[in-house]
Amino acid sequence: MGARQSYLYIYLNSKDKEYDESGCKVKPKKTVVNGSIDFEVVTYTIEYKGDSSYYDIYIYDSKETVYNGYYIFGYCSPRTHQVANKVEVYYSVLAPDKPLVISFVTNSQKYNCIYDDLKYARWNWASYITEHTFNDDLVTKLKKQYRKLNLNKTIEFDDGSKETKDVTSYKQKIDDESYRIIYTPKGRESVLNSNCLFSSDNKFADDNIPSEVKSGCKDIPSNEKKNKIDPYSLTSVKGRFFDGIIVYFAKDNGQPIDNKDNSDKHMALYLEFIDLRNKDICLKRKDKDGCWWAEESEDYTDNTSLGPKLKQLKAEVNKNDKSTIILDVKVSYTGVIVKNGESKQAYMKYTHEFTTDKDHNFMFGRKTITIGSATDSYGKSKNVEVYYLKASGKEDEQPFLIVLITNGQEKEKNKKAYYFNNTDKFDDWKIFNNEKPEELKKKLDEKLNKIENQLNCVKDLRLVRLMAHQILISEEPKPPDIKEATTPKRPDLETPGPTTQPPNWWLIIGCSVGGFLLLVALVVGYCIYWYNTTIKLLT
């Protein structure tokens, strides 16, 4: 504020266009606060001309001029090490025109100051700026300041009979092809019904100008797929209280974004439920029918990076024309009729019926899952049977058998069956392979009958799971091959044939000589005997 000082103005309403001021160049840029999508910061980078310590920084809540604005604070007579090269202004995304914190950034230091404190002080020497600074975590302080600004008001999000009341909304442009609608509480007991999430019947005069949401929003027609979300996807948010709710839209091809149009003329792609006390919940659209919304967040730093992400998301949504099977829902849901089929003592069957044959996405616990190997192709099917085990009348938390059935006559229907591996991991599931339709049907009937007959009296669900798994993986013994019966017959007798071996002459000669010698020996022996007994007696 000295006589030699020059004035350099920071205009809070100039957030995206650089300007010249007192011979210096000021370049504003808006980004999301690092580590939190709930807040954004506008950084004014200053390029000084000449000695930077000769400039006092004055902050106004106007745009491009001091005459139509309100003076906020003066950062005066800085020494060389106190010169602010940047001024950062922090806002909540729910109130983009209400500053919460202003920071003066030097080459060596960053001075974070509460906006209301600066506004009350009006001005101070740069050397005394520490009188207004805080050392707490920045995001924590921003949350506290916004709750204070908004008087701690919240919106109750209802998916039932409560009517929408005391809620304001405004439209904020992201780029030429996308925008967002921001819902904030107006009263102490604000309620936003889910039927007003995409169709609030609001007419917006201009960006960032609030408009009250009227109660009695019309339900979206059942044949309208552009903006739908199944109540299943809202399980984690219904009945809870939020600081604000943001819905992101992308325009249809060839349709300009008109503030006077209702929001439901364009496609909703992404939801942010802002909870400054706990944790934000984000829902990302995954299919054309609006049945598949996954709890996933979209990472972005500013509108420049967010716009292309929404464009890409829209292309993926339009491309994904699959039916979504929600395994843990046992009543009808968006686009699907669920019927209770076989109710046995040991298991329960639910049939999910679709209007057309399509490929499928599987969901469980509000998350996308893969049944079996990621390389498996489920194929198109119109009906899907989901089986749950039971014990003592209580159903298991996860299914144990899933059967996909194509359209056609009963005898012509093809089936593809997956069964659990007695774990809680769906990618561990196995498929019944190499089965003809009639063979697979017979096998499934046999195994289900075994499960019912053998497990209907088992009271422990864990034991039921174990035994059911053994039945599913066991192979039936194959019957032995039956050969054609034959009459026994006596074997034919064998008769020896004539020999062709020549006579053994040496054997014949040897036998003849031996016989002759034996005869001679007998004759000689007899003669000696006769001589001794006869001749000697006579003489």
- Per-residue pLDDT of 422-456, as tens digits, reads 998 998 999 987 667 788 888 999 999 999 999 98
Q: Residue 69 phi/psi, 5° resolution?
A: -130, -175
For residue 282 the two structure tokens come to: 């984000």
Percent of the chain with pLDDT over 70: 83
Least Cα distance to 44 among 21, 70, 65 occurs for 21
How far is residue 109 from each of residues 105, 129, 130, measured CA to CA in Å?
6, 12, 11
Q: Residue 264 phi/psi, 5° resolution?
A: -75, 5
Question: What is the arithmetic mean of pLDDT over 17-38?
Answer: 91
Instruction: Tell me the pLDDT tens digit for each residue of 364-416.
Output: 988 888 998 756 667 788 889 999 999 988 999 999 999 998 765 555 567 88
61/10 Cα distance (integer angstroms)? 8
Least Cα distance to 441 among 471, 411, 479 occurs for 411
Q: For residues 161 and 226, is the Cβ–Cβ distance under 8 A?
A: no
- Higher-confidence residue of 208 and 372: namely 372
Q: Which stretch of 15-19, 109-113, 485-489 has the lowest confidence by average pLDDT?
A: 485-489
Q: For residues 357 and 380, is the Cβ–Cβ distance under 8 A?
A: yes
Query: What's the pTM value of the predicted model, to 2 decimals?
Result: 0.79
Instruction: Tell me the pLDDT tens digit for each residue of 115-150.
Output: 999 999 999 999 999 999 999 999 999 999 999 999
Question: What is the arithmetic mean of pLDDT over 54-80?
Answer: 89
For residue 113 the two structure tokens come to: 């100051």
Question: What is the arithmetic mean of pLDDT over 336-342?
Answer: 86
Encode 95-121: b = buried (16+ Cβ within 10 Å), e = exposed: bbeebbbbbbbbeeeebbbbbeebbeb
Does residue 73 register a pLDDT over 90?
A: yes
Burial class for 283, CB neighbours closer than 10 Å (0-12, 13-18, 19+): buried
CB-side exposure of 147: number of CA atoms within 13 Å?
13
* Residue in the block written with tokens 């089936």: 415
Least Cα distance to 347 among 424, 420, 434, 413 occurs for 420
Question: What is the residue-averaged pLDDT of the chain?
Answer: 85
Q: Which residues are within 8 A (CB) of 345 and not within 5 positions of it... i.e. 6 or more apart? A: 390, 452, 455, 456, 457
Q: For residues 389 and 465, is the Cβ–Cβ distance under 8 A?
A: yes
Q: Which DSSP string do the residues of 384-450 spell out, in sequence order? A: EEEEEEEETTEEPSS-SEEEEE-SS-GGG--EEEEE--SSS-GGG-EE--S--HHHHHHHHHHHHHH
204/186 Cα distance (integer angstroms)? 17
pLDDT computed for residue 266 by the predictor: 84
Q: Which stretch of 32-36, 318-322, 351-355, 474-478 has the lowest confidence by average pLDDT?
A: 474-478
346/414 Cα distance (integer angstroms)? 26
pLDDT computed for residue 483 by the predictor: 56
Q: Which DSSP string do the residues of 311-373 spell out, in sequence order? A: HHHHHHHHH---EEEETT--S-BTTBEEEEEEE-SSEEEEEEEEEEEE-EEEEETTEEE--S-
pLDDT computed for residue 117 by the predictor: 96
Question: What is the arithmetic mean of pLDDT over 497-508?
Answer: 63
How many other C-beta atoms are found inside a 10 Å radius of the C-beta of residue 409? 6
Q: For residues 13 and 62, is the Cβ–Cβ distance under 8 A?
A: yes
- Higher-confidence residue of 15 and 534: namely 15
User: Hey, which of 106-120, 260-274, 346-360, 377-391 has the most confident mean pLDDT?
Assistant: 106-120
Sheet holding 190-193, edge to edge: 190-193, 155-158, 241-242
Q: What is the CA radius of gyration of the chain?
A: 47
61/80 Cα distance (integer angstroms)? 27
**What sign for the dihedral angle of Cα 236, 241, 246, 247?**
positive
**What sign for the dihedral angle of Cα 115, 103, 150, 68?**
positive
What is residue 535's DSSP assignment?
A: I
Q: Which residues are within 8 A (CB) of 259 and not within 5 positions of it... i.e. 6 or more apart? A: 171, 203, 204, 205, 206, 207
Q: For residues 128 and 146, is the Cβ–Cβ distance under 8 A?
A: no
pLDDT computed for residue 269 by the predictor: 94
Q: For residues 90 and 103, is the Cβ–Cβ distance under 8 A?
A: yes
Question: What is the arithmetic mean of pLDDT over 517-526?
Answer: 73
Does residue 521 register a pLDDT over 60?
A: yes
pLDDT computed for residue 128 by the predictor: 95
Quick one: which H or E segment has residue 118? helix 115-121
Q: For residues 15 and 28, is the Cβ–Cβ distance under 8 A?
A: yes
